[in-house]
Every structure is written in structure tokens, then in C-alpha cells.
């Protein structure tokens, strides 16, 4: 069964690789089913079942990502040429789609890219790719670190994880309004439950941003409260690139690293700190912290 599944995933991976190399080519259902060597009458359902979004949506996002990276280069083709290469019939249609996804016009993005909405927009694309490309980890990637306590503003999400994106956008808007950039104020997630609890209503996690001693803004705001991530020893595992699904890294820490380490956990939940990479278009990084006794 495993060998058959690996072979199936390899055929699907071949499709993703082909799309990456031929974004300006013919990527319709007939062409992609042929690359995978699957029947075109079933391939659209197979693709969506495997990756969680349709072939058309995947190609659309991949082309938009390439177009936005070409814009961010600041040189080269005009916005019109980039729009046409991305498969849009007119620059206006491209501009509307671009503003809808990134809250910036193409010309403004070219001058001064806002990477936060850009990264959020490609969450479905990154999640699709990670479904058949599960990361692997080794003990030498886990570092034992003494962590200092961090005073934070906390924005809590309770309830169905399917609505988490709404809370994230509210948190980002609040943080920006308070003048807290991830480059100057560390950003954290604290998980109080598993990623998919049996009852979705039980899901709970906290979005946090580090604050200075005199910085807590608007304590009367009921959506945010002050708190602290305690200091102490932690096992730290760094993930780069696609950080939308950190469950494989968390499972590695709990299931593989911890039993073999002889360490004991401290009474504080698993949490992570999120970073922008030096080249933001390459994605983000996250460091998972497993608090130790």
C-alpha cells in the first residue's frame, strides 16, 4: 500500500513540477492529466482530493505568485507584459485581481512590496504543496536553549479552526494600528489544544506580539490582553519555507525527539516564534519551542 501511495504521489508531484516549469504554457486539464498519466475524466477530482484546491485555482495562484515576484524585482517587463504573461486578457483585470489578493496595486507593490498580505494570500498554495511533501526532521536540528521571558499582547482565538484566518487578519490589523512590525516586535503563536480537536469548538490558540514595558496599547480593548511567555529551558526546532502547517514539526518533537531525549516537559504549552526571512518572498520561518523542566 505504501509503495502504491508513493507512486501515486510521485505522479502528482510530477504535475506540480511541470506547472512550476511551464507557467507561461498550456496547463489545462487535458495537458496536466497527460503529464500525470491519469484519465482526464477523473483528474480534476483527483487533483482537488490530493491538494485541497482545483487545478485551475492552483495554476492561477502559481501564475500570480510568479507575476508578483517579477513586479517585486523592480526592473524588467512592464506591468502590462507581466499581466499578459500571467494569463490575464487585460492589465485592468490583472490589477483588480492583484488588489483583491494583496491589498496593493501592482504599481505600488513594485515600488514598495507589503509582504504580509502577500504571504497570507499564498497559504492555500503552500498548504497544497505540503500535502504530499511532508518534511522530515533529525535530532541534530533540535537545539536546547535558555529562553528569556517575553512580555506580550495576546489576541485569543477560540472555536472552529476553520475561522482562524478571520482572527489572524484582526490580529494583524490591530498590530499594525499599534505600530508593531514583526521586524521590531517578535510575533508568537501559543497552542492550547491540538490542531484538529474532536470537537472543533474546543480549539484554542493565542496570537501574540512582544511589547515593551510601557507599550501596552488600549488596555480597555477586550480583544487583547497583556501577558507573558515565561522564560526557561526549551527544545527549539526551526522550520523554514512553508510554515502554514507546523503539525509535522510538533509531532516530531512530541513523538520522536522527547521520548529519546530523557527530558521532561514544563507546564506551559508548545509555542512558536515566527520570522520573516531576509528575502520575504521566500516565505517565513518558525521556531517551535517545547518548554522543558
Residue 112 makes CB contacts below 8 A (sequence gap 6+) with none
Residue 289, pLDDT score: 98
Which residue, 161, 165, 133, 127, is CA-closest to 51?
A: 127
Q: Which residues of the chain have pLDDT under 70?
A: 1, 215-221, 242, 278-283
Query: Is 264 within 8 Å of 144 (Cβ atoms)?
Result: no
DSSP letter string, the chain: -HHHHHHHHHHHHHHHHHHHH-TTS--SHHHHHHHHT--HHHHHHHHHHHHSS-HHHHHHHHHHHHHHHHHHT-SSS-HHHHHHHTT-SSHHHHHHHHHHHHSS-HHHHHHS--HHHHHHHTHHHHHHHHTS------GGGEEEEEE--EEEEEEEEES-GGGHHHHHHHHHHHHHHTT--TTTS-EEEEESS-SS-SSGGG-EEEEEEE--TT----TT-TTEEEEEE--EEEEEEEEEE--S--HHHHHIIIIIIHHHHT--B-SS--EEEEEE-SSGGG-EEEEEEEEB-
Q: What is the pLDDT of residue 192?
A: 95
pTM, to two decimals: 0.68
Which CATH number describes the domain made up of 139-291?
Answer: 3.20.80.10
**Residue 210, strand partner residues:** 152
CA-to-CA dists, residue 184 to 119, 176, 208, 211, 275, angstroms: 18, 12, 14, 10, 11
Kindly report, residue by residue over 160-215, the tens digit of the pLDDT: 888 888 888 888 888 888 888 888 899 999 999 988 888 989 999 999 999 987 76
Q: Where in the chain is the domain with CATH 3.20.80.10?
A: 139-291
Given this model, what pLDDT does residue 237 score? 97
Question: CATH classification of 2-129, choosing from 1.10.10.60, 3.60.20.30, 1.10.260.40, 1.10.3720.10?
Answer: 1.10.10.60
pLDDT at 282: 61
Q: How far is CA 226 from the centre of its chain?
A: 26
Neighbouring-strand partners of residue 110? none
The pLDDT value given to residue 93:
94
Under 8 Å between Cβ of 215 and 98: no
Provide CB contacts within 8 A for 231, sequence distance 6+.
146, 147, 148, 149, 150
Q: Considering the chain, tell me which residue range(s) the CATH 1.10.10.60 domain(s) occupy.
A: 2-129
Model pLDDT, residue 217: 55
Amino acid at each position: 500500500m505504501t509503495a502504491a501511495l508513493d507512486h501515486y504521489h510521485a505522479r502528482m508531484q510530477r504535475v506540480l513540477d511541470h506547472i512550476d516549469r511551464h507557467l507561461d504554457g498550456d496547463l489545462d486539464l487535458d495537458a496536466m492529466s497527460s503529464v500525470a498519466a491519469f484519465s482526464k475524466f477523473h483528474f480534476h477530482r483527483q487533483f482537488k482530493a490530493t491538494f485541497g484546491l482545483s487545478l485551475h485555482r492552483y495554476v492561477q495562484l502559481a501564475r500570480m505568485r510568479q507575476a508578483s515576484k517579477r513586479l517585486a524585482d523592480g526592473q524588467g517587463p512592464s506591468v502590462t507584459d507581466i499581466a499578459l504573461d500571467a494569463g490575464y486578457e487585460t492589465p485592468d483585470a490583472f490589477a483588480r485581481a492583484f488588489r483583491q489578493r494583496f491589498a496593493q496595486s501592482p504599481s505600488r507593490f513594485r515600488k514598495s512590496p507589503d509582504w504580509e498580505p502577500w504571504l497570507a494570500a499564498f497559504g492555500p498554495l503552500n498548504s497544497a504543496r505540503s500535502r504530499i511533501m511532508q518534511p522530515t526532521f533529525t535530532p541534530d536540528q533540535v537545539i536546547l536553549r535558555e529562553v528569556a521571558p517575553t512580555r506580550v499582547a495576546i489576541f485569543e482565538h477560540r472555536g472552529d479552526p476553520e475561522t482562524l484566518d478571520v482572527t489572524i487578519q484582526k490580529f494583524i490589523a490591530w498590530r499594525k494600528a499599534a505600530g508593531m512590525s514583526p521586524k521590531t516586535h517578535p510575533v508568537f503563536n501559543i497552542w492550547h489544544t491540538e490542531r484538529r480537536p474532536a470537537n472543533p469548538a474546543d480549539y484554542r490558540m493565542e496570537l501574540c506580539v512582544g511589547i515593551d514595558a510601557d507599550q501596552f496599547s488600549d488596555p480597555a480593548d477586550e480583544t487583547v490582553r497583556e501577558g507573558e511567555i515565561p522564560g526557561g529551558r526549551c527544545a527549539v526546532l526551526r522550520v523554514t519555507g512553508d510554515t502554514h502547517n507546523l503539525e509535522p514539526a510538533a509531532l516530531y518533537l512530541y513523538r520522536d525527539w522527547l521520548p529519546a531525549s530523557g527530558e521532561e516537559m514544563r507546564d506551559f504549552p508548545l509555542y512558536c516564534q515566527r520570522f520573516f526571512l531576509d528575502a520575504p518572498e521566500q516565505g517565513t520561518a518558525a521556531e517551535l519551542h517545547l518548554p522543558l523542566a
